[in-house]
A and B are shown apart, each in its own frame.
Chain A
Amino acid sequence: MPHFTKPPEGSWTEHYGLGTGPISYEDSISPAHYELERDAIFRRTWLNVGRVEQLPRKGAYFTRELDAARASVVVVRGTDDEVRAFYNICRHRGNKLVWNDFPAEETSGACRQFTCKYHGWRYNLAGECTFVQQEDEFFDLDKADYGLVPVRTDVWEGFIFVNLDPDAPPLHEYMGELGAGLAGYPFHEMTQVHRYRSEVRSNWKLYIDAFTEFYHAPVLHAKQAVAAESRKLQSVGYEALAYKVDGPHGMVSSWGGMSPPKDLNMVKPIERVLHSGLFGPWDAPDIGLDELPPGLNPARHPAWGLDSFLFFPNFMVLIWKTNWVLTYHYWPTSYNTHIFEGTCYFVPPRTARERLAQEMAVVTFKEYGLQDSNTLEATQTMLESRVVTEFPLNDQEILLRLLHKAAHDYVDEYQGHKPEAPVRVSAAS
Chain B
Amino acid sequence: MASFPSDFADLEPFAGWALPTEKARYAKRLSSTMDELQGFYDAAFPRMEAAATYLEQFDMDALPDDAERLLWLYCSLVTVSFPVEVWRQPRVPDSGSCSLDAVAEPAV
A, B: real partners: yes
Q: Is B2 an interface residue (CB 8 A)?
A: no
Q: Is A265 an interface residue (CB 8 A)?
A: no
Interface centre among A270, A349, A362 (most CB of B within 10 A): A270
Mask: chain B, 57-99; 1 = CB below 8 Å from A; 0 = not = 0111001000100110011011101100111000011111111
Mask: chain A, 337-380; 1 = CB below 8 Å from B; 0 = not = 00011110000111111111001101100110111011101000
Given A363-B22, A367-B92, A351-B100 contact (CB < 8 Å): no
Complex Cα gap A360–B79 (Å) = 8
Interface centre among A194, A198, A342, A359 (most CB of B within 10 A): A359
A113 surroundings in chain B (CB, below 8 A): none
Q: Is A223 an interface residue (CB 8 A)?
A: yes
Given A370-B100, A377-B98, A351-B81 contact (CB < 8 Å): no
B49 surroundings in chain A (CB, below 8 A): 273
B94 surroundings in chain A (CB, below 8 A): 371, 374-375
Asked if A349 and B102 sit within 8 Å, CB to CB, the answer is no
Given A268-B81, A270-B85, A355-B108, A373-B100 contact (CB < 8 Å): yes
Complex Cα gap A355–B51 (Å) = 13
Asked if B71 and A352 sit within 8 Å, CB to CB, the answer is yes
Which secondary structure dominates where chain A touches chain B? helix
Asked if B100 and A197 sit within 8 Å, CB to CB, the answer is yes
Closest-by-CB residue of A relative to B81 is: A270
Asked if B86 and A349 sit within 8 Å, CB to CB, the answer is no
Asked if B58 and A351 sit within 8 Å, CB to CB, the answer is yes
Asked if B101 and A348 sit within 8 Å, CB to CB, the answer is no
On chain B, the number of residues with a Cβ less than 8 Å from chain A's Cβ atoms is 42
Mask: chain A, 161-204; 1 = CB below 8 Å from B; 0 = not = 00000000000000000000000000000001111111110000
On chain A, the number of residues with a Cβ less than 8 Å from chain B's Cβ atoms is 42
Asked if A198 and B99 sit within 8 Å, CB to CB, the answer is yes
Question: How far does the Cβ of B69 sit from chain A's closest Cβ, in whole Å?
Answer: 11
Contact partner, B95, options A194, A362, A370, Cβ 8 Å: A370
Q: Is B27 an interface residue (CB 8 A)?
A: no
A110 surroundings in chain B (CB, below 8 A): none
Asked if B87 and A270 sit within 8 Å, CB to CB, the answer is no
Asked if B78 and A363 sit within 8 Å, CB to CB, the answer is yes
Question: How far does the Cβ of B81 sit from chain A's closest Cβ, in whole Å?
Answer: 4
B26 surroundings in chain A (CB, below 8 A): 366
Closest-by-CB residue of B relative to A365 is: B100
Q: What residues make up the interface of B, taking CB atoms closer than 8 Å to A?
A: 22, 26, 45, 48-49, 52-53, 55-56, 58-60, 63, 67, 70-71, 74-75, 77-79, 81-82, 85-87, 92-106, 108
Given A196-B100, A363-B82, A370-B92, output 9 extra A-B contacts at Cβ < 8 Å: A270-B85, A274-B48, A349-B60, A351-B56, A351-B60, A352-B71, A355-B60, A355-B71, A355-B106
Pull 9 A–B residue pairs with CB atoms less than 8 Å apart, ordered by A. Answer: A195-B103, A223-B86, A223-B87, A270-B48, A273-B52, A355-B106, A356-B78, A371-B93, A374-B94
